Structure 1
Amino acid sequence: MNRLRKQLCAAVTASLTGQKGNPPETGRALWNAFQGLSATRTYHPAGPNPIQPSEVLAWCQLHRMPMEPRHVEILLAMDQAYLDHAYAAAKRPEGVKAMAPVSKTPLTAGLLDAMFG
């Protein structure tokens, strides 16, 4: 299982860097589960939130896919690889200040209405 975890985490990292994420055939069900769970991921102002074990449980029940604890550990390791990549760009040397990101989209009345109703 350790080898499968490494292969799937490498596939996640490869797919995030623009390469072809090619998971092993034995991990195809876990890859599909991770893609489904990641698509429903929530975000906070600093970036993506981790996938919670309760979300994995709900996903398994919804899709009627039994999953063993070792499979959940692999899914959470894949999620950690995703989060490591997502937060790598936000890391900066200690003591260096950074300005808040500025959107390239201008603020319009229509955009405000879309955001706040």
Structure 2
Amino acid sequence: MTARTRLSRQLCAAVTAALSGARVRPPEAGRPLWNAFQRLNATRTYHMAGPNPISFAEVEAFARLMRLPLEPWHVTILMEMDAAWLAGAQRAKVPEGVKTLPPVSKHAISAQLFDLVTG
């Protein structure tokens, strides 16, 4: 296992632990990536079904504005951290008594249903 792979796994594990409410200390070698991810995550957009992934354009703009020299492998790790965050956010437990919709409808899509949803 390469050092980059190990760093990616450690940072993704830290993201998952942070989502569960644990106090996290990311690895020292990954501190700049951890800080960049936290700042990008704070500006995350949402849609009706939940959070949107962080885009490459957002990473590029952030790196340019902050004058942060990111290598391609840095961006890869940031995207892996984002995937871990999104997976953890989907698994988040809903408090008791809160009504939720199933993630997939039991009904097939029809032209009328599509028109109803999209207007």
Query: The TM-score by the shorter chain falls in which range?
Result: 0.7 to 0.9
Number of residue pairs matched by the alignment: 94
Measured against aligned partners, the alpha-carbon deviations of 1:86-105 in whole angstroms (never above 9, x if no partner) come to 11248xxxxxxx854xxxxx
Give 1:24's aligned residue.
27
- Which one of the candidate residues 42, 58, 61 is aligned to 1:39? 42
Which aligned pairs between 1:26-105 and structure 2 lie closer than 5 A?
26-89=29-92, 99-100=100-101
Distance 1:99 1:2, change over 3 A: closer
Give 1:4's aligned residue.
7
Distance 1:16 1:99, change over 3 A: closer
Residue 20 of structure 1 and its aligned partner are, at CA, apart by 1.3
TM-score (norm 1): 0.76
Counterpart of 1:43 in structure 2: which amino acid? Y
Counterpart of 2:46 in structure 1: which amino acid? Y
Residue 64 of structure 1 and its aligned partner are, at CA, apart by 0.2
Compute the RMSD of aligned alpha carbons: 1.7
Counterpart of 1:51 in structure 2: which amino acid? I
TM-score (norm 2): 0.74
Residue 38 of structure 1 and its aligned partner are, at CA, apart by 0.3
Q: Which runs of 4+ in 1 moved over 4 A?
A: none
Q: Unaligned 5+ residue runs, structure 1?
A: 91-97, 101-117
Q: Find the aligned partners of 2:35 and 2:50 in 1 and give their Cα distance.
A: 23
Q: Find the aligned partners of 1:84 and 1:24 in 2 and give their Cα distance.
A: 21
Indicate the percent of aligned positions where both proteins have the same amino acid.
58
